[in-house]
Amino acid sequence: MSGIPGTAVIQITNLSSAVSSEQMRTLFGFLGDIEELRLYPPDNAPLSFSSKVCYIKYREPSSVGVAQHLTNTVFIDRALIVVPCAEAVPFSLEKKEWYFCIPSSFFIYFLISENACPGDLVLDGY
């Protein structure tokens, strides 16, 4: 059922801008042991956004199929969209590379953030 055989990673989109990493860990932690969780933009982002994206890596790939059952569950004020994701995308890339994997609406955050990609990389060649 997971769509990508053997993956232990899900992408959750259409998240409310009010959601926090801790809320995501609590909600999806009931479905399996979470190895890693990344929320974009992060909880401490200096700007507000209309929505957020979360990547969760479970210890067991079987949790991915279970987590997909939360698709269309209304959480805070939006219906969640939960899909399997290739493991390499959100977790094994260098920070300077993973901003290409997130929706373009979050790109401005990485341009102005202190923790963003090096200035010589951003917009280089564009």
Has residue 74 been placed in a domain?
yes
Q: For the chain, how many structural domains are there in total?
A: 1
Has residue 1 been placed in a domain?
no
Number of alpha carbons in the 13 Å side-chain half-sphere of residue 59: 7
The pLDDT of residue 43 is 83
Residue 32 sits in a domain of what CATH number? 3.30.70.330
The pLDDT of residue 102 is 53
- Bridge partners of 55, per DSSP, are 11, 38
Has residue 101 been placed in a domain?
no
pLDDT tens readout for residues 60-76: 999 999 999 999 999 99
- The rounded distance, in Å, linking the Cα atoms of 49 and 72 is 21
The pLDDT of residue 47 is 76
The pLDDT of residue 86 is 82
The pLDDT of residue 92 is 53
Has residue 123 been placed in a domain?
no
Has residue 111 been placed in a domain?
no
Residue ranges, the chain, pLDDT below 50: 1-2, 93-94, 96-100, 105, 108-110, 112, 115-126
Has residue 58 been placed in a domain?
yes
> Full-prediction pTM beyond 0.85?
no
> For the sheet containing 51-58, what is the strand order?
34-40, 51-58, 9-16, 81-85
Backbone angles phi, psi at 10, to 5 degrees: -120, 155
Q: Which residues span the domain enclosing 18? A: 9-92
Q: What is the mean pLDDT of the chain?
A: 77
Longest Cα–Cα distance of the chain, Å, equals: 44
3-state secondary structure of 7: coil
Has residue 105 been placed in a domain?
no
The pLDDT of residue 2 is 43
Give the tokens for residue 17: 């801008």
- Give the amino acid at 100: F
Return the CA Rg of the chain. 15
Per the CB < 8 A criterion, the answer to whether 41 and 25 are in contact is: no
Has residue 27 been placed in a domain?
yes
